[in-house]
Amino acid sequence: MSINNSKTEVKRLFIGAGCNRIVNNVSWGASDLVSFGAQNAVVIFCPKSAQILTTLPGHKAVVNCTHWLPSNKFAFKAKQLERHYLLSGDADGVIILWELSLADNKWRPALQLPKSHKKGVTCITGFMVSQTDAIFATSSSDGTVCVWDVVFPTSFGCECKLSCLETLVVGSRPMVTLSLAQLPGNTGLIALAMGGLDNKIYLYCAERTGKFVRACELKGHTDWIRSLDFSLPIFSGEADSVLLVSSSQDKGIRIWKLTLRGSPANTEGTYKRGEIGLASYIEGPVFVAGSFSYQISLESLLIGHEDWVYSVQWQPPSLAAEEEIGFYQPQSILSASMDKTMMIWQPERKTGIWMNVVTVGELSHCALGFYGGHWSPDARSILAHGYGGSFHMWKNIGVSSDNWQPQKVPSGHFAAVTDIAWARCGEYLLSVSHDQTTRIFAPWHNRDPQSDGDSWNEIARPQVHGHDINCAAIIQGKGNHRFVSGAEEKVARVFEAPLSFLKTLHYATSEQSSFPEDVQADVQVLGANMSALGLSQKPIYVNATHEIQENLGNDGLDTLESVPDAVPVALTEPPIEDQLAWHTLWPESHKLYGHGNELFSLCCDHEGKLVASSCKAQSATVAEIWLWQVGSWKAVGRLQSHSLTVTQMEFSHDDNLLLAVSRDRQFSIFKINRAGNDEIDYKLVARQEAHKRIIWACSWNPFGHEFATGSRDKTVKIWGVEKTSSVKPLLTLPQFDSSVTALSWVGLDRQRNDGLLAVGMESGLLQIWSLHVERSDDSIPTPGVATAQIIRLDPFMCHVSAVNRLVWKNPENNENSTDLQLASCGADHCVRLYEVIVH
């Protein structure tokens, strides 16, 4: 997706985001696209390319669940469809229907459902009755279940017709899972199964447009019902029965059979009665729906998981099935559990007993279990989403026998992303988040000549911490890659790249295959190990002999008391979650003690000699800015000016001035003089109340001593520092629609002093302004001569919540540049990368 202006073009290069940690959050559609919620955004990713394609803005609360129409189960009916639809429900009870046109991959919000739920939506399920008609049901924690009918338009962009068929009040114990199906026997009847907090499954039946009547309840589970899924009609000459699979927090899975009575199904089901053996029917209730009656029986009980089973799903029918036979329900179920495994269950051929035939999962210490599992439409791949906001995908690459292998999937933060920074030469992007991780994203050089080019991936997770991380700064200058991060603690931590990362980065971004030997000799640390409490990361040395302690009582299993050793290796392909979470840590080299409260902001000068840090503050003494000398990591200055938290700092591009902005609505400018013998002399040269509300952001002009400030008062102001060190206002941009939370200024042409200013807002929207600062002959900025011109980014390209930081990549040609990259991060869990082409 790109946006055009007469002079500037903006393209989307990359989005990184993690999945909301909520059951029913993910859906794999017949379109072969996967949807999930990332904070308030609905995110769409393509499993084939392992890239996020777009985010859909519209929800004002956390997205709880998504559901495709048609879903993966009905892919065999969707071959001719030009448009697919997606339902998403949020924590406020709002449900939006989205329309995707496959011809041009365009999305639009088709309609917002009338608000029928007072609390969060917990589950959405539905199916296509015909190519233009669908029925779906929604449940909420307010104790209601609504059934809807929607008629789709015949062309893109036209209106959908929606009607609410029924609102069922289920009482004080809300339903958390639903499944809809047509009852067997071509009766035109619809069954709705629901389960929740009272351990029972309730079955409701209705005619196509009639009232839903409670038919019966199924007892057996001893804990909350977590997932329900109806099969398609079972093919046995005549479609006369369907299966319902249920899973629960009691760790068990049950298969129930619904059979049309008075048909041959009483004596002949999926397997002949005489051959069933152990899987004999346990006769259950009989219920009447319309003029038909149905027998329910317990087909099987599947025991194998060691923790709550959060999802079960029938395998979609194979698209390769022959048209004459018709599409039938494969006897295969996928289950996902908090025991960190997914299992595929199938009945044994001879006895009909359901067995676990495939088990996949992150059996490592770092995963905390799966919230849901999904089949691909062709049933060749399975996808899980986990506690760490991560996806895990396996593909069956076997020909004659099953061989499930892990696949690359998109990854990202699963909480607000608070800060980002470019590597000094722009090879990668580092981000930190309230999910307590630091991540590195980089373009992976594709060595396949027939591929589409480089794709961005998460290549390392240098820090996995025990506190929310608020800020980070990459050390500029020469030497190894280093960064400083500050979290919800009083200590800033310094990290240095290990050899395994340097080799991975070299392989990912370089055309050459050989790794420089001088670097190998200099860097003696191979990787890092996590400590048991998850705070300090200890180095693993290159030539350390690795002794494995024999722990007889533990039998080699991971427990919370024993953290397994990392195995850092140079990667030759983009890593998957298991490698990222454990084996790509950087060792911590120093701790910087001094601040009295939690760290809030960090920055590094352009020479790589000084780091400035600030913390949360409500008094002048605590609001000091500390200066640290890179290398010795001694505190070399304590700069006093503000009375409340310093929200952002930045060194001017000649490193002579340090700009700081604060919650006290003022900005300060300090002159930094570097005397010999590593001493630093600093002086406050200007302080001014600049805005009526908190100042959130600041940025220097790369070509001079002009800077921009952005505030909660919805304004951006441009200022100039004169030779006398006094500051003059140059320009106030027209008022924005929302608080300004992020700014970044990049230079285009040094001679003309042209540049671009990126502005990020609390609403998530981004704008880019072109700035031209004229100077009089004696190089003093003349007030009021800066001009500005606007580019608004399409909301589908922007964040959906507050933008926390914007950073331009340093142009390769510093004097004038036309091809730029802009990185942004926000409260919507997303890291985004744009290409900005100036014509």
Q: What is the DSSP string of 226-280?
A: EEEEEPPPP-SSS--EEEEEEEETTSEEEEEEEEETTSGGGTBSSSBGGG-GGG-
Q: Which two tokens stand for residue 89?
A: 């429900």
How far apart are alpha carbons 185 and 73 in whole angstroms? 19
What pLDDT is stored for residue 46 in this prediction? 93
Q: What is the DSSP string of 767-803?
A: EEEEEE--B-TTSPBPTT--EEEEEEPPGGGS-SS-E
Q: Which residue among 398, 428, 446 closes a domain? A: 398
Does residue 199 sit in helix, strand or coil?
coil
Q: Which residue among 367, 398, 429 closes a domain? A: 398
- Are the beta carbons of 27 and 421 closer than 8 angstroms? no
Report the 3 state secondary structure along 596-607.
CCCEEEEEECCC
Bridging pattern class, strands 41-46 and 51-56: antiparallel
Q: Which two tokens stand for residue 707?
A: 């800077």
Q: Which two tokens stand for residue 372?
A: 């849901």
> For the sheet containing 189-196, what is the strand order?
175-182, 189-196, 201-207, 213-218
- Are 614 and 716 part of one and the same domain? yes
- Are 679 and 742 part of one and the same domain? yes
- Are 394 and 490 part of one and the same domain? no
Environment class of 349 (CB within 10 Å of its CB; exposed 0-12, middle 13-18, buried 19+):
exposed
Other C-beta atoms closer than 10 Å to the C-beta of 687 total: 17
- Are 581 and 697 part of one and the same domain? yes
What pLDDT is stored for residue 508 in this prediction? 86
Q: Which two tokens stand for residue 113?
A: 């459902």
Q: Which two tokens stand for residue 593?
A: 């003690």
- Are 755 and 612 part of one and the same domain? yes
Exposure string for 647-684, b = 16+ CB within 10 A, e = fewer: bbbbbbbebebbbbbbbbbbbbbbbbeeeeeeeeebee
How far apart are alpha carbons 437 and 619 in whole angstroms? 30
Q: What's the number of CA atoms in the CB half-sphere (13 Å) around residue 365?
A: 18
How far apart are alpha carbons 439 and 429 in whole angstroms? 8
How far apart are alpha carbons 601 and 649 in whole angstroms? 7
- Confirm whether 336 is domain-assigned: yes
Does residue 160 sit in helix, strand or coil?
coil
- Confirm whether 823 is domain-assigned: yes
Q: Which residue among 344, 370, 398 closes a domain? A: 398
Report the 3 state secondary structure along 293-325.
EEEEEEEEEEECCCCCEEEEEECCCCCCCCCCC
**Side chain identity, residue 561:** E
What pLDDT is stored for residue 708 in this prediction? 94
- Are 377 and 487 part of one and the same domain? no
How far apart are alpha carbons 244 and 287 in whole angstroms? 15
What pLDDT is stored for residue 839 in this prediction? 76
Environment class of 101 (CB within 10 Å of its CB; exposed 0-12, middle 13-18, buried 19+):
middle
- Confirm whether 762 is domain-assigned: yes
- Confirm whether 731 is domain-assigned: yes
- Strand partners of residue 272: 268
**Pick from 241, 182, 237: nearest CA to 207:** 182
Q: What is the DSSP string of 685-738?
A: EEEEE--SS-EEEEEE-TTSSEEEEEETTS-EEEEEE-TTS-EEEEEEPPPPSS
How far apart are alpha carbons 650 and 672 in whole angstroms? 12
- Which residues neighbour 828 within 8 Å (Cβ) at sequence distance 6 or greater? 17, 38, 39, 40, 41, 55, 416, 764, 799, 800, 801
- Are 470 and 503 part of one and the same domain? yes
- Confirm whether 156 is domain-assigned: no
Residue 816 DSSP code: B
Environment class of 235 (CB within 10 Å of its CB; exposed 0-12, middle 13-18, buried 19+):
middle
Q: What is the mean pLDDT of each run of 10 residues along the chain (839 residues)?
A: 64 94 93 94 93 94 94 83 91 93 88 88 91 90 92 81 90 90 81 91 87 89 93 67 92 90 43 38 72 86 92 84 61 92 92 90 66 92 91 89 90 95 92 94 75 81 91 91 94 93 87 64 76 72 55 43 68 86 88 94 93 94 93 92 95 93 95 79 92 94 92 93 87 93 91 89 94 68 63 93 94 66 95 90
- Are 570 and 673 part of one and the same domain? yes
Token pair 């309230």 in the structure block, residue: 434
CATH number at residue 743: 2.130.10.10
- Confirm whether 392 is domain-assigned: yes
Q: How many domains does the chain have?
A: 2
- Are the beta carbons of 43 and 83 closer than 8 angstroms? no
- Confirm whether 496 is domain-assigned: yes
- Are 606 and 675 part of one and the same domain? yes
What is the distance in angstroms between the CA of the first residue and the CA of the last residue of the chain? Answer: 18
- Are 785 and 663 part of one and the same domain? yes
- Are the beta carbons of 670 and 657 closer than 8 angstroms? yes
- Are 344 and 423 part of one and the same domain? no
What pLDDT is stored for residue 265 in this prediction? 38
- Confirm whether 645 is domain-assigned: yes
- Are 426 and 368 part of one and the same domain? no
Domain of 424 in residue numbering reads as: 417-543+566-838
How far apart are alpha carbons 518 and 833 in whole angstroms? 33
- Are the beta carbons of 710 and 696 closer than 8 angstroms? yes
For 46-102, the pLDDT digits (tens) are 999 999 999 999 999 999 999 999 888 888 877 778 889 999 999 999 999 999 988
